[in-house]
Structure 1
């Protein structure tokens, strides 16, 4: 039997031995991950990141961040409930709520924190969570921390959600979904989920990480569900908005509850001024200049058709590969040709299928995009 923890080795085996064994096991399975730094003037065409609209390098966003750092300093200086709430936070939260059509918003230092906060502050061991099988790791971890009972239902299966709600014992229940799922790139049946949750008295939490910006105010608003009494929205500021941070949006009562009960908010330093200002500038661009989102959707749709795969609802295109090793080899071949793409491998994928992760972005010049498409068509054909 292969030991899975130091305790199984016995007291005479060191942590170093256990770590070495874990590294060897990952390497053999083709699942080793390594950090690769890049410089500010990297010539590689980046189709691996989450800067969907190219706003992280937009001059207006960068200038807003720099001005905020010069005005407020490098950090918020404290948790939000001490002295870390800045005018920037208040302004950003008000404009986020207005753009997404929600009564109120609360920002966090990361989108991960936003998801941890909303779940752990709303449910406990006496409650129940119904989770789509493909939700993000941050929501998975949030449920674990909450200690609530959990039912995992098949992906985007509304009937399974209703069945789980019907079998509930009357406990407070959350249903977790994403507006657009990051692995398959498909959209959730939000209207149907909201109706089922409302009928059963459950609260639907929708993560708009991949919807906000690419679809303007996100798919919740586009579906006419903004402000729905049975729905809460979480979002990240680090993808289409090109900054860093996260937010929870819903009723004023919900926000007040989070301020008083959400540990990822109470015990964390406030969002840095530069990040808050950058997100606010990017949000205004998203609101006023929809052409960038239209460009992203056009580019990723055309690329999906060329590769013969299902077009995504958002900006991330997933191309299935035969194995983790093949996916890594294809990723390396693309990089050698000057194009950086991502790579999904277990355990980061809910269905165990390795994929190339290709980001459609408005931040790449037209000729660079055309060259990248040519590279990807060749690399995928050679490795599938």
Structure 2
């Protein structure tokens, strides 16, 4: 890759991460955003503001700049966070106004097989589908419809774990709350909002994974950074063994359990990641089964399976997209980390019509020879190479 190409890609990634994500998900300003980034340079004047005590401005001209909390460097919003951002939010449950009806499922038996991810889920997003993968999805333990509401209160990731080899399963959650404070501008008083980010890391004992159960994960037991709103956040794990494979289908869900419709009771910029390692620090997350287009007679799906045969699906997102640490075409059969994506991106691999033979020489086929009365020799070469390169 040339230096120019690297620069262009870096600029593109910075614009997507900076402009698009900051605009839709937030935050606009954060210590995590480099001050020399293109996005940060595009912002108007940024001023620190001491929010301890009374905050007064004599005129509206004084509030034209953007402000950050002097103590933390985190952004300050002059309007409601609900009005400013629209993605990556877990709303209070009172806000949920549209849900998806589901039918109760039998939760008592273990999974003997996995219903493959549906075609709608093949792009790394979707809902649990099928009688055997929808366990607990609509039970009081975890209502997956909360992820499909117009104002979602929950997000979750489902994946298949190699239970026999897994020694460490860790859930990492990060989000932010916005808290109101009063600002006086001239003779008018306004509500402004300051950002308070937090993160939480919870280790799940391997002994609690292999058995079928659904239970809350104690937020208080995790390693905390920032002020974690334990009264808002519920973390739940649903596990079902897949017999006799030594694998377990797991869903990790985070839910905003508040019933107060207020921006201060919502979780913003919510992210969920899960890591699973064995004794050698190797990944324990296995491919999530998908529909087999060849067996089902779906020619389009079978074509996709051929094109992306080296790229596995490792997780299914509910209320978010799911992603993992793997490069296109890498051919991994297990990964060590999966994570949510509110604005998913994918690097499409470059393609070329050039084919290199086993001896290292480029394949060159004469069009004149193919059009002659004896083209079989050249056709055989093409067929052999196609089989070797595209079916293996």
Interval of TM-score (by shorter of Structure 1 and Structure 2): under 0.3
TM-score normalised by L of structure 2: 0.23
Q: Is the strand fraction higher in 1 or 2?
A: 2
Q: Is the helix fraction higher in 1 or 2?
A: 1
**Which one scores higher on RCO, CA 8 angstroms, separation ≥ 6?**
1
TM-score normalised by L of structure 1: 0.23
